[in-house]
Amino acid sequence: MSKPRLATVWLDGCSGCHMSLLDMDERLLEIAERADLVYSPLVDTKEFPPAVDVTLVEGAVSSEDDLRRIHEVRARTKTLVSLGDCAVTSNVPGMRNPIGEAPLLQRAYVENATINQGIPSVVVPRLLRRSRPVHSVVAVDVFLPGCPPSADLIYFVLDELLAGRTPDTAGITHFGA
């Protein structure tokens, strides 16, 4: 029997949730025995593949590129997990929402730039008006809050999902790390 197909995705987050995933240490080997990691910042696959069983999503949806990617991920994933507070609430990326897109870009790329002042129009993905939690854009099956969620909690969720069960994360608060 083939193993479940596992993916992890990094949207607008600091990578701390992926660092916490790596903190599972030797349990990573066990997960690798039980699932095929088919897409992740940790592997070299360029395109999100079809027919993924479980995808962990770190980060908020903040740019047009994030938006395109999360729709693609959702369409190709059976069970989608919002991993960490940025995915669950928009958290740190959402702090820019009251400021507005134009003043934010002006501050970052013009006022605080010492060289090459100017708001980029190529390469850097265009920002959405607001940074949004993942579930406000696509359906989410499992919420795993925390900034970051601890390695133990991430392992718990993966262990349950790979065993074919739905993890009960209702009691986990955003102080779950």
Q: What would the two tokens of residue 165 be?
A: 């069960």
Q: According to the binding rule CB under 6 A, does residue 161 interact with ligand SF4?
A: no
Q: Judged by CB, which is closer to ligand SF4: 5, or 132?
A: 132
Of 47, 141, 30, 52, the residue nearest 88 (C-alpha): 141
Q: What would the two tokens of residue 161 be?
A: 């999902």
Of 160, 35, 63, the residue nearest 120 (C-alpha): 63
Q: Which of these segments, 23-31, 32-40, 85-93, 122-130, binds ligand SF4 (CB under 6 A)? A: 85-93
Q: According to the binding rule CB under 6 A, does residue 4 interact with ligand SF4?
A: no
Q: Which residues from 99-118 bind ligand SF4, rule CB under 6 A?
A: none
Of 59, 53, 123, the residue nearest 86 (C-alpha): 59
Rounded Cα distance between 172 and 177, Å, is 10
6: which strand partners? 37, 54
Q: Which amino acid is at 177?
A: A
Q: Which residues from 36-55 bind ligand SF4, rule CB under 6 A?
A: none
125: left (phi over 0), alpha (psi -120 to 50) or beta: beta
Q: Which residues from 54-73 bind ligand SF4, rule CB under 6 A?
A: 58-59
Residue nearest to ligand SF4 (CB): 16
Q: Which of these segments, 11-19, 64-72, 94-102, 162-170, binds ligand SF4 (CB under 6 A)? A: 11-19
Q: According to the binding rule CB under 6 A, does residue 154 interact with ligand SF4?
A: no
Q: According to the binding rule CB under 6 A, does residue 14 interact with ligand SF4?
A: yes
Give contact residues for ligand SF4 (rule: CB under 6 A). Answer: 13-14, 16-17, 58-59, 84-86, 91-92, 147-148
